[in-house]
Every structure is written in C-alpha cells, then in structure tokens.
Amino acid sequence: MTGVRTLAERLLAEATDRLETAGVSSPRHDAETLLSHVTGVPRSSLITRAKPNPLQQETFLELVDARARRFPLQHLTGSTGFRYVDIEVGPGVFVPRPETEVLAGWAIDHAKALSSPVVVELCAGAGAIALSVVHEVPGASVHAVELDEKAYEWAQRNLAGTGVDLRLGDMADAFADLDGSVDVVVANPPYIPLDAWESVAPEARDHDPALALWSGDDGLDAMRVVEQVAWRLLKPGGVIGAEHADVQGESAPEVFRPRWDGVRDNLDLAQRPRYVTAAKPRG
C-alpha cells in the first residue's frame, strides 16, 4: 500500500510539472533548490524533514512562478556556488557558469606554481574567478576590472575584504600601472555573435547584462581586445586564458596565433571546446 505523500512531496511534484511545462531544463533540481532555499532544509532531506508553513508555501509558489517565467534560478536564491566559494548574484550581473570553473582552475594552477604571482581578471562580472584565485592562492596579488556599473557593484560585494584590487572601467585601457608585470591574465569575455539571439536561453538573453553576452558579428570582438590587453600586461613568459563559445574552438585560438607561443584550445568537463590559452614569448 502506497503511503500518503508529504506536503513537501506534493509541492515538489507540482512545481516540477510546472517547470517542465515551462521548458526549464532541470525542473526537479530547480524545484528542490527553491524549496530548500525557502525552508532552510538541505535538498537531500526535503522529503523527510521539510514542513513548510503557509508563508513558506506561498513564497515557494511565487519563486516557482518566477522560475517558470525563466528568471534565473540563481537570481531567485541570491547566490551560486563556484569552485570553493559562494558568489552573490542578482539582476544586473552575469551568473557564473560551471564550465568557467575549469578556466579558473587553469589560472589557479599557474598562479600556485609561482612564489608571488600577479593575476588579472578582465571582464570580471561578479568577480568569481578573482575570488577563487585569492581564496586558493593566498600569496597572489589579484586585480580585476569590470565595465558595467551594476555588475561592478556585485563584484564589490563579493570581493569586499579580500584584498583584490577591483576597478570600474574598460579593460582596453585598464591597469596601465601593471604593464609588463603580470604573470596570469584570465578572462570570460562576451562571445555571442549578434545574430545568435534566438539560440540563447531566455535566462541569459533576458536577464544577463547585454555587455556580458554580445560581441560583434563573429562573437570575437571582445576576444581581440583581450588579446591586446593581455599582450600589454603580461611579462615575457606570462600566460593568458580566455573562455569562448563551444563553436569557437578554432576561431578563438586564431586570434592569438600570430604572436603568441603555445596557443592551444582546451575542453570543459563536458568535453566541449571552452577556453584558449597562450604564453607571451620570452624572447
């Protein structure tokens, strides 16, 4: 005989159906995350431990409705995990993606191999990579720049008290005081072609800032600026790593081939082309 479903089970089942109908890619996961956020009960214990009161039920249903309208899950919970840190996010800032953690790991590995590394993050957004570097490489001197004022405010929250040198401005002329002295430059620039509007998920297209998404006809306008800035900032032998779209595994490295050493493309955890790396020649 099947037992009576708990209130949490009923709420989750109904929310999952609603989100699936709305086209959300991970409906059960998102429903559980929202109920956990509202009740404070871990996702793994929701069925047995969550007993949402009427106010929590109402809040949960409002959040599910917003998620069904494709508001980003992370905007609704107010944060997202990135490597070993939590990043505060919300309207006005690009939500860090799991695939970017691989790029951050590359930068951290290079920084760890040096005694007093100088690391610069371009297009910092919420500051996820910079925060990860300063968290995992305590001896690093970390600098970050963000152009969008709202995103910069989120980065300020995330990087407060960390010692990261965060600046508001255009990466094209940022950090002139660091020219030729940087060991690692890392960037997750905008890389979506302007004509790819329809292919972008509503969560990103409608809620991430435009400055973080679109980058000219081929999606590589910002990458070309990254290449120029990295060349200016890095000392001989310094390295650059920059994220790109999975369809740019050949075109993104071509931006660096004319004057960089060791240009190669790298895969993310799903084995898709994800970021290009290169070194400034020593000679």
Residue 261 has pLDDT above 80, yes or no: yes
pLDDT digit string (tens) for 38-59? 999 999 999 989 999 999 999 9
Spatial distance between the Cα atoms of 64 and 60, rounded to a whole number of angstroms: 6
Q: Residue 143 — very low, low, confident or very high, per pLDDT cuts 50/70/90?
A: very high
Lowest-pLDDT choice from 1-15, 69-83, 105-119, 201-215: 201-215
The answer to whether residue 13 scores a pLDDT higher than 90 is yes
Does 101 count as an annotated binding residue?
A: no
Looking at residue 282, its pLDDT comes to: 92
> Beta 165-168 vs 261-267: how paired, if at all?
unpaired
Q: Pick 210 or 139 by higher pLDDT.
A: 139
Tens of pLDDT, residue by residue over 170-221, are: 999 999 999 999 999 999 987 565 554 455 456 555 545 554 444 455 678 8
pLDDT score, position 214? 43
Rounded mean pLDDT, 123-149: 96
pLDDT at site 1:
34
Average pLDDT rounded to a whole number, residues 95-119? 95
Residue 190 annotated as part of some ligand binding site: yes
Does the annotation flag 191 for ligand binding?
yes
What is the per-residue pLDDT for 208?
Answer: 53
φ, ψ of residue 166 in degrees (nearest 5):
-100, 130
Instruction: Read off the pLDDT band of 260 (50, 70, 90).
Output: very high
42 among annotated binding-site residues: no
Give the per-residue pLDDT at 63: 95
Q: Is 9 annotated as a binding residue?
A: no
**Among 3.40.50.150, 3.40.50.720, 3.30.70.270, 3.40.50.2020, what is the CATH number of 90-279?**
3.40.50.150
What CA–CA distances, in Å, run from 134 to 22, 112, 124, 129?
39, 11, 14, 9
The whole-number pLDDT of residue 191 equals: 59
What mean pLDDT is predicted for residues 261-272? 94
Give residue limits of the domains in the chain. Answer: 7-69, 90-279
Evaluate if residue 18 carries a pLDDT over 90: yes
Contact 35, 60 (CB under 8 A): yes
E-assigned strand segments in 74-189: 79-82, 85-88, 118-122, 141-146, 165-168, 182-187
Residue 95 pLDDT level (bands cut at 50, 70, 90):
confident
**Average pLDDT in the 268-274 region?**
91
Q: Is the pLDDT of residue 144 over 60?
A: yes
Helix (H) or strand (E) holding 51: none
Q: What amino acid occupies position 173?
A: D
Task: Give 142 or 246, the one with higher predicted confidence.
Answer: 142
Q: Which stretch of 7-11, 156-160, 261-265 has the lowest confidence by average pLDDT?
A: 7-11
The two structure tokens encoding residue 226: 């990254």
Residue 199, H or E segment: none
Q: Is the pLDDT of residue 28 over 80?
A: yes
